[in-house]
Structure 1
Amino acid sequence: MTDEQIEYPDFAKVEMRAGRIRKVEEFPRARTPSYKVLVDFGPEVGERWSSMQAASDYRAEDLLDTLVVGVVNMPEKNIAGFKSQALILGVPAEDGGLSLLRPDRGAQPGGRVY
């Protein structure tokens, strides 16, 4: 745990939303095993591309049409010549890999995390 505390207005600045993965592409130029994913974040945000360091832990076909949580209000980041427009969230898994944050009861794309 960190000693630094934030106030709710600081947390509210981070726009985290549920999104549905619509397309998964290999990303061999990335330094770590990654995919390029197109995520539908609903009508308010639209579709965004993201680089996702998940190729060691998830098969592309298993990610397609699944829900994830992403940050949508950060500036684009150039990753090996690819413009990543959202940050897909995950945590370390028990085996040291990646465990994606996913709504467990389903969610509407665009649903905001509060």
Structure 2
Amino acid sequence: MHLNHDSNAPASPNISFDDFLKVDIRVGTIVSANLFPEAKKPAYQLVIDFGETIGKKKSSAQITTQYSLDELVGRQVAAVVNFPPRQIGKFMSEVLTLGFPNENGEVILFAPDKAVPNGARLF
């Protein structure tokens, strides 16, 4: 599936509210961030804590141009937690960390503007 990152692209076709509820988007706190030198495109390996029920999950994120490793730890982010895990090289990415492209197409992380409990679900 290819997503259109163009800010001028028309909205996607309508879906039902039940379809929206199938996508489980949660907030978590990044507890570790490391370089991912084996990735085809520059990326970090993140470990994100989604609270007691979901726990800590791994994610590969192509955010190296906008974020340093030091500024990621402790930051809250949003992620889809119910996609199947995806093998990226030797790394198993368990969640899809969410962001929006800036004017250069580089990912800017999506997060709440105030702290919320880890594991809180987007609605």
**TM-score, normalization by structure 2:** 0.89
Q: Verify: 1:32 aligned to 2:41, yes or no.
A: yes
Q: Specify the code of the residue in structure 2 equivalent to 1:87.
A: L
Residue of 32, 40, 47 corresponding to 1:23: 32
Instruction: String of CA shifts for 1:19-54, please: whole Å, max 9, x gaps.
Output: 000000110010111000000011111000110111
Q: Take 2:91 and 2:19, find their aligned partners in 1: how far apart are those partners? A: 29
Residue 52 (structure 1) aligns with: 61
Q: Deviations over 1:45-96 (max 9, x none)?
A: 1000110111121100000110000000011000112100000000101343
Letter paired with 1:79: I
The AA in structure 1 aligned to 2:61 is M
Is 1:112 paired with 2:121?
A: yes
Letter in structure 1 aligned against 2:103: E
Aligned-residue CA RMSD (Å): 1.0
| DSSP-derived class of the 1:9 partner | helix
Structure 1 stretches of 4+ with a deviation exceeding 3 A read none
TM-score, normalised relative to structure 1: 0.95
Sequence identity (%): 36
Number of matched pairs: 114
1:70 corresponds, among 79, 82, 107, to: 79
Gaps of 5+ in 1: none
